[in-house]
Amino acid sequence: MIKTIFYNYELDTIHFVDQTLLPAKKEVVSTMDIEVIADAIRKLRVRGAPAIGIAASFGLFAAIRNYRGDEISFPKFLDEKCSFLSATRPTAVNLFWAINRSKKAISSAFSNAEAGKKVFSAKKTALEEAQKILDEDIEMCRKIGDYGAQFLSDGQSWLTHCNAGALATGGFGTALGLFRSAFESGKKFHVYIDETRPLLQGSRLTAWELLEEGIPSTLICDNMAAGLMAAGKIHGVVVGADRITNLGFVANKIGTYGVAVMAQYHKIPFYVAAPISTFDLKLTHGSEIQIEERNREEVAMIGPTMIAPKEAKVYNPAFDVTPPELVTAIITNFGVITPPYSENIKKIIGSKV
């Protein structure tokens, strides 16, 4: 299984796969610098909602590991580093969930330790909590895969958009976890992969992952999905998520909403696979979700090549929001949530987030 991000206890370093270099090159970056990890999140070297949460928790550990101040100054230092990491990307709630969870555990350990040992206790707890978040994420993904695999039958072809695999998580994946579980159980099926413009996470990352796993797949341009649906060649769609509200509005990679509309028109089930760390029960409507807008070069260029006029204006939202009426079910690590989401999200996971 691909290890997206992890801590090497022997070398005392944090390692992550630089996803901007895939599929041409698989490079693992080693660091113990919060600045490097924050920059990696901003520049999508580490990406995917669960993965950036895990990265942030390890980044917080790196900062505390390098802390040389006194105990009096530590709480302010911790607040500053948490704010610094929180500012890297705005949409995926897993980032803030992981930072807040780590901060709470670290603050408690610091407060409860005896004088002279408070910072040491904070360092120890920061690593333990980051490792727990990573381990729990892998386990959550496996459960999502097992719950979701029941919907995929022999002989079917499914579509996925962007990358919600091991690279986007601690390992195994959410949407791709469904395919991994089904493949491990012996089911025979095929996966169509949207290229996912503008950064091509489908063609660069999902196609690479499925080839690594030996899962049969075909890469398509984003504008080919509707034709395949009309031809009866797609039997189901599964995507990941970056934030889900208490009514079931789903923020995910730009283009997801369009895929959901096409799926409904062609009467194809549309599933969302996400761990409970992706739910933001403080939000209700999709309009409340802050959508990240990224730089024009991501659209106007492919690699070093300019593909648009230099004067052309560019609109580049990284995500869109799919309303709950287009979602057949949400597959979580606590089970499958079906409509009405206004009742069933709170019933299944409300007390667990």
- Domain of 297 in residue numbering reads as 143-349
Which residue numbers are catalytic? Answer: 242
Q: Are residues 315 and 178 in the same domain?
A: yes
Using the 3D structure, point to which of 109, 141, 173 is the last residue of a domain.
141
For residue 211, the domain's CATH number is 3.40.50.10470
Q: Are residues 292 and 147 in the same domain?
A: yes
For residue 56, the domain's CATH number is 1.20.120.420
Closest Cα to residue 127, out of 44, 47, 48, 66?
66
Q: How many CB atoms lie within 10 A of CB 79?
A: 12
Q: Hey, what's the torsion of the CAs at 220, 225, 231, 235, to 10 degrees? A: 100
pTM: 0.96
Q: Are residues 173 and 107 in the same domain?
A: no
Amino acid 2: pLDDT: 84
Q: How many domains does the chain have?
A: 2
Per-residue pLDDT of the chain (353 residues; tens, 9 = 90+): 789 999 999 999 999 999 999 999 999 999 999 999 999 999 999 999 999 999 999 999 999 999 999 999 999 999 999 999 999 999 999 999 999 999 999 999 999 999 999 999 999 999 999 999 999 999 999 999 999 999 999 999 999 999 999 999 999 999 999 999 999 999 999 999 999 999 999 999 999 999 999 999 999 999 999 999 999 999 999 999 999 999 999 999 999 999 999 999 999 999 999 999 999 999 999 999 999 999 999 999 998 999 999 999 999 999 999 999 999 999 999 999 999 999 999 999 987 77
Q: Are residues 125 and 181 in the same domain?
A: no
Q: Are residues 107 and 156 in the same domain?
A: no
How far from 62 is each of 7, 52, 66, CA to CA, in Å?
10, 15, 6
Q: Are residues 151 and 173 in the same domain?
A: yes
Amino acid 351: pLDDT: 72
Please state the φ and ψ torsions of residue 155, each to the nearest 5 degrees.
85, -5
How far from 287 is each of 5, 250, 257, CA to CA, in Å?
32, 11, 14
Q: Are residues 187 and 332 in the same domain?
A: yes
